[in-house]
């Protein structure tokens, strides 16, 4: 393996913690194989992050263009850079946007795609490890493609060592004839929209048995507590919550101080996404639910009755 390419979105002129995690994983592979690391940084309106210049990258490609919100456009840009750089491995975080981008990119380039890897190791060949069967087992997957594309479930990490010498930067100027199917018309920042679920100190978990019409009550409690809301995989499948707020091995990993959950069963594929040893408060009418084994406080009750009573008490404060 000679070359590794990291692909990441930038916001507010800085590199995200997700990028540093990808860089750390790429550095581990590089130390074993001697491969060189480059990065493709995509941004709507920010400038190239200064940190990108001092990571010891072989090269940093930077594109500032509002059209990157269209994954078809971004996939075309990525394919162009990949053809030019000829990486053996392309690494992205396992976010919803990146998954859509990597799928289009793999289709355009006829490459193998491995999603939701939690570890990448070198055996006889590059091997990705990911959870399967609801997180009960781990499987090893490898791709026979010359160019391997992997989305990786990132984790919290510190910034890597910076170097004195600057990495070369190439500013990309795409042709206007690239196909664009959508156009960004308006950006609107909602209240608390900058609070990422995985960074929230208080998270409210919602299980499948919660009715969709009761979600406004959940949101009211979240507003009072300053909390974020996450969902189990079954709740997402039932249409109660969105994919980008799913917690678990096939969703987000969270590190709250307090995790309050309503009608969450506590299966391993969900609980494996909750890290950091939080205080867990569970409300569930099934006293035999698995979540009881993880809970610091377990309340046997109907979730809606408990919700209403809790909201009323908090409003008295």
The one-digit pLDDT tens for each residue of the chain (317 residues) are 789 999 999 876 778 888 999 999 999 999 999 999 999 999 887 788 888 888 888 999 999 888 888 888 888 889 888 888 889 999 999 988 898 899 988 888 888 899 889 999 888 888 999 887 766 788 999 888 899 999 999 988 877 777 767 888 888 887 655 544 445 566 554 444 445 788 899 999 999 999 999 999 999 999 999 999 999 999 998 889 988 899 998 888 999 999 999 999 999 889 989 998 899 999 999 999 999 999 999 999 999 999 999 999 998 87
Tokens of 134: 């609801």
> Can you state the percent helix, strand and coil of the chain, rounding each to 5?
30, 25, 40
CATH number for the domain harbouring residue 216: 3.40.50.1220
User: How far apart, in whole angstroms, are the C-alpha atoms of residue 60 and residue 66?
Assistant: 19
Of the candidates 256, 229, 228, 253, the one whose C-alpha atom is nearest the C-alpha of residue 240 is: 229
For 287, residues 6+ apart whose C-beta sits below 8 A from its C-beta are 298, 300
Residues 167 and 52 in one domain: yes
> Pick from 155, 171, 187: which residue ends a domain?
171
179 within a domain of the structure (yes/no):
no
Question: Do 93 and 215 belong to one domain?
Answer: no
Whether residues 54 and 106 fall in one domain: yes
**Of the candidates 171, 189, 212, which is a domain's last residue?**
171
pLDDT, position 289: 94
- Which among 65, 114, 109, 118 has a CA at the least distance from the CA of 87? 109
Residue 54 neighbours by CB under 8 Å, 6+ apart:
162, 163, 164, 165, 166, 167
> Measuring CA to CA, how many Å separate 28 from each of 5, 34, 121, 275?
14, 10, 9, 23
Q: Are residues 15 and 158 in the same domain?
A: yes
Same domain, 141 and 252: no
Structure tokens at 23: 């860089």
How far is the CA of 23 from the CAs of 12, 39, 40, 54, 254, in angstroms? 19, 9, 12, 12, 21
- pTM here is 0.63
pLDDT at residue 22, rounded to an integer: 94
Could you tell me which of 195, 226, 310, 313 has the C-alpha nearest to residue 262?
Answer: 310
Are 134 and 20 found together in one domain? yes
Number of folded domains that form the chain: 2
- Find the CATH number of the domain harbouring 164: 3.40.50.620
Q: What angle do CA 54, 58, 62 make, to 5 degrees?
A: 75
Residues 206 and 149 in one domain: no
Distance CA 39, CA 49 (A): 12
- Among residues 171, 187, 210, which one ends one of the domains? 171
Query: Residue 131 domain-assigned?
Result: yes
* 181: in domain: no
Report yes or no on 189 lying in a domain.
Answer: no
Q: Same domain for 272 and 221?
A: yes
Place of tokens 């996450």: 230
Is 178 within the bounds of a domain? no
Q: Which domain holds residue 133?
A: 3-171
Residue 192 lies in a domain: no
Can you list the positions of beta strands (E) in the chain? 3-9, 36-43, 59-64, 89-93, 112-117, 119-122, 126-132, 137-141, 148-152, 169-171, 202-206, 228-231, 258-262, 279-284, 297-300
**Residue 202 backbone class (left: φ over 0; alpha: ψ -120 to 50; beta: rest):** beta
Residues 131, 205, single domain; the answer is no
Look at residue 221 in the predicted model and tell me its pLDDT: 95
Report the residue count for the chain: 317
pLDDT of the residue at 182:
45
Task: Say whether both 125 and 252 belong to one domain.
Answer: no
pLDDT of residue 204: 96
In-domain check, residue 161: yes
Specify if 180 maps to a domain.
no
Q: Are residues 261 and 302 in the same domain?
A: yes
CA 169 to chain centre: 26
- 144 shares a domain with 12: yes
């Amino acid at each position: 393996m000679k070359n590794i390419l990291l692909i990441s979105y930038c916001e507010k002129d800085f590199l995200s913690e997700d990028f540093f995690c990808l860089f750390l994983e790429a550095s581990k592979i590089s130390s074993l194989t001697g491969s060189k690391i480059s990065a493709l940084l995509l941004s709507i309106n920010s400038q190239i992050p200064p940190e990108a210049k001092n990571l010891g990258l072989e090269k940093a490609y930077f594109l500032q263009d509002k059209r990157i919100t269209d994954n078809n456009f971004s996939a075309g840009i990525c394919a162009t850079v990949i053809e030019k750089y000829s990486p053996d491995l392309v690494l992205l975080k396992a976010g919803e946007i990146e998954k859509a981008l990597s799928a289009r990119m793999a289709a355009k380039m006829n490459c193998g795609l491995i999603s939701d890897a939690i570890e990448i190791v070198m055996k006889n060949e590059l091997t990705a490890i990911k959870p399967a069967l609801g997180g009960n087992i781990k499987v090893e997957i490898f791709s026979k493609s010359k160019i391997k594309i992997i989305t990786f479930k990132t984790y919290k990490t510190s910034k890597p060592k910076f170097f004195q010498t600057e990495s070369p930067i190439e500013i990309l100027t795409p042709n206007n004839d690239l196909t664009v199917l959508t156009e960004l018309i308006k950006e609107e920042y909602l209240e608390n929209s900058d609070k990422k679920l995985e960074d929230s100190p208080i998270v409210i978990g919602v299980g499948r048995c919660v009715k969709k019409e009761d979600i406004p009550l959940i949101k009211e409690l979240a507003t009072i507590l300053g909390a974020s809301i996450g969902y189990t995989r079954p709740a997402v499948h039932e249409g109660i919550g969105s994919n980008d707020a799913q917690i678990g091995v096939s969703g987000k990993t969270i590190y709250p101080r307090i995790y309050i959950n309503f009608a969450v069963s506590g299966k391993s594929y969900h609980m494996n996404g909750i890290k950091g040893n939080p205080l867990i408060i569970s409300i569930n009418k099934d006293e035999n639910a698995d979540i009881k084994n993880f809970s610091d406080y377990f309340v046997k009750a109907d979730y809606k009755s408990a919700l209403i009573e809790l909201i009323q008490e908090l409003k008295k404060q």
